[in-house]
Structure 1
Amino acid sequence: MFLDIDGHCQHVALYGSENHPALVLLHSLGTCHAVWERQIRAFSKSHFVICPDFRGHGLSEVSRTPVTVEALAEDVVAILAAIGVNRFDLAGISIGGLVAQRVAATLREEVRTLTLLDSNIVSLAPQMWKDRAAKVRAEGLAAIEEAVLSRWTTPQGRRSEEGRGLAMMLARTPSEGYAAGCDALALADCRACAASLIMPVTVAVGDLDEATPPQAARALADAIVGARFEIIEGAAHIPLFERADAVNAILRGSVEGG
C-alpha cells in the first residue's frame, strides 16, 4: 500500500487478514519492512501485520524535510489512522524502537503491548551520528557499509543467505535516506516518553550487540515502570533472522501476555 503522508509517498506492507488483531512492526536504520520477514511468516496467520517503510527506506520517498524520531512517529500515527487501525500491538528494533516509544506515548490507550528490540532511550553517541551523516552525504553509503554490517550480525550470520539479504537492504537504501536517519539518531531522546508507557513493555537485546549494548537496553527497561528485560543469547544488533526463533518467542510472549 502507498499513502500520501505529510506530502510524502510512503509505503506500508500489509500481511494477513484485517479481521485479525493488528501487529505493527517498525524496522531499523538502513533496512526496510523486509527485515521482519521471519516474524511476518510467524504472525501473519494470526495477526494483521503492518510494516511501514520509514522515509528514505524501502519503497518510501526520501524526506524533503528534516527527519527526527518524532517526525517518524507522526508518520506512523498518520499511517495507522489512514488504515483505520485503533488497537494494536507494537514492536520496533533499533531506531524503530525509539520511534515505537514515541508512538506508544502518543497512542497509549491504543497500544496493547510494546516490544523494544536492540534499542535505547536516548542517543548513545550524538557526535558519531552527526559525523556518520556527513560522511555518507560526502562519500556515499558504501563508505560505511563494512562498519555497519559487521555490527548487524555475527560473522556466521553475515555469510548466510539472510545476512547477504541484509547487505542488499543496506546497499539499496538511498544515501540521503540513511543520512537523515543518522540525523534523527543524533537527536533522539525518548526519556520524556517513559512515564506514558502504561502498557506491558518488553525490552530485549542481543548479548553480542555492540551498536546498542545490553547496558543501554537495560537502562531503557529500568526507565519504564514494570518493563520486562530479556537477553537474546548469541545475537548481535539485528537478531530478526539469525535468532528468529528467540525473537518470535519474545514477541509472542509479549502479545499473548498483553
Structure 2
Amino acid sequence: MFISINDHNIHVALHGSADDPALVLLHSLGTSHDVWQEQVRAFSRTHYVICPDFRGHGLSDLSRTPVTIEALAEDIVALLRELGVDRFHLAGISIGGLVAQCVAGALPDRVRTLTLFDSNIVSLAPQMWKDRAAKIRADGLASIASGVLARWITPQALETPFGRGLATMLARMSSEGYAAGCDALAIADCRPHAARLTMPVSVAVGELDEATPPAAGKALADAIAGARFSIIPGAAHIPLFEQAAVVNNTLEALIREP
C-alpha cells in the first residue's frame, strides 16, 4: 500500500494479520522491502510483518529534501502511526539497522525487541560515502554496481536465483536514491540513541562482511547495554537469502524470549 508521509509517498508491503504481533523489517541500501522475502515467508504466519521502502527505494518517492538517518526514522515512526501500530518487534539490516536504532531510541517503550544485521553505530568511512555519492551522481549507479553486489553476497551465490534477483534489484535502483542514501551514511551517528535501547537487542554480522565487518558489529553491540552479538558463518553483507535459516533463527530467538 501507499501512504503519504512527511510530504512523500511511501510504499509499504504488509503481510499476515494485523491482529498478530507486529514485526517491522527495514531494508539495506540499494534494495527494497523484497530483500526480506525469506523472513516474510517464515514470520507472516504468526506476525503482522511490515516492510517499508525507504525514500528513493522500491516504490517510494525520491526524497525532495536531504536524506539522513533521522529523516528516514521519522518516516517509519509516522508510518507506524498511520497504520495504528503501537508495540512492535523491529529489525534492520545495514542502513536499515541504523534507522532501526534511531526509531528504537525515539520509541523505547514501544519497541519490544531490536535485531540488527550487518550494521554499525557510526559512519565507518565518511569520505568514502561522500566520494561514492559524487561518483554515482556523475557516472550512474551502474558504474559501481558489480563492486556493490560482490560485497552483498559470496562469489558462489552470484549465479543463484537469489543472487540474480539481488542484481536485478540493484539494477532497478534509482541512482539518485542510492546517492542520497550514501549522503545519509556519510554523517550517520546513532551513538546518542544507545543508552535508550533498553529492550532486548541482538546484533549479528556476516563472517565475510567487508562493508560492515564483524569488528564494527561488535562495537555496535558493545555500545548497547546487554546486547548479544553473533557471527553468521559464511555470510557476506546481505545474509537474508544466503543464510536465511541463521537469520530467521536469530530473529526467532529474540522475539520468542520471555
State how many pairs are aligned: 258
Amino acid at match of 1:151: R
Q: Which residue of 1 aligns with 2:247?
A: 247
Q: Which amino acid aligns with 1:104?
A: A
Summarize the alignment of residues 57-96 of structure 1 with structure 2, pairs less than 5 Å apart: 57-96=57-96
1:222 aligns with 2:219: no
Q: Which residue of 2 aligns with 1:169?
A: 169
Matches within 5 A, 1:187-206: 187-206=187-206
Separation (CA, whole Å) in 2 of partners of 1:25 and 1:174: 21
Report the residue type matching 2:230 in the other structure: E
User: What amino acid maps onto 2:244 in structure 1?
Assistant: A
Where does residue 117 of structure 1 map in the other structure? 117
Structure 2 gaps of 5+ residues are none
- Matches of 1:5 and 1:168 in 2, distance apart? 28
Alignment correspondent of 1:100? 100
Q: Deviations over 1:204-226 (max 9, x none)?
A: 00000000000000000000000
CA distance in structure 2 between the partners assigned to 1:13 and 1:52 by the alignment: 6
For the pair 1:153 / 2:123, whether they are aligned, the reply is no
**Cα shift readout 1:157-215 (whole Å, capped 9, x = no counterpart):** 11110011011111111100000000000000000110000100000000000000000
Listed as ranges, the matches of 1:35-46 within 5 Å are: 35-46=35-46
Which stretches in structure 1 are left out of the alignment for 5+ residues?
none
Question: Does the residue aligned with 2:9 lie in a helix, a strand or coil?
Answer: strand
The DSSP-based 3-state class of the residue aligned with 2:241 is: coil
SS in 1 for 2:242: coil
1: CA distance between counterparts of 2:46 and 2:157? Answer: 28
Following TM superposition, the consecutive aligned residue runs of length 4 or more in structure 1 with deviations greater than 2 angstroms are none
What's the counterpart of residue 233 of structure 1?
Answer: 233
CA shift, 1:241, in A, is 0.2
Structure 2 residue matching 1:241: 3-state secondary structure: helix
Residue of structure 1 equivalent to 2:128: 128
| C-alpha distance in structure 2 between counterparts of 1:44 and 1:228, whole Å | 25
Cα deviation for residue 28 of structure 1 reads: 0.1
Aligned match of 1:24 = 24
Question: What one-letter code is carried by the residue in structure 2 that aligns with 1:185?
Answer: L
Quick check: 157-166 or 22-31, which moved more? 157-166
- 1-side partners of 2:157 and 2:104: how far apart? 32
RMSD value over aligned CA atoms?
0.5
- Where does residue 209 of structure 1 map in the other structure? 209
In the TM superposition, residue 19 of structure 1 has moved relative to its aligned partner by: 0.5
TM-score (structure 1 length as normaliser): 0.99
Q: For residue 74 of structure 2, what is the amino acid of its counterpart?
A: E
Amino acid at match of 1:34: D
Q: Does 1:12 align with 2:12?
A: yes
Q: CA deviation at 1:254?
A: 1.0
Within a 5 Å distance, the mapping from 1:45-64 to structure 2 comes to 45-64=45-64
Deviation at 1:78, TM superposition (A): 0.3
Identity of aligned residues (%): 70
Deviation, structure 1 residue 148: 0.3
Aligned partner of 1:164: which letter?
A: R
CA distance in 1, matches of 2:181, 2:20: 32
Q: Secondary structure at the match of 1:79?
A: helix
Q: CA deviation at 1:237?
A: 0.2
2:218 partner letter: R
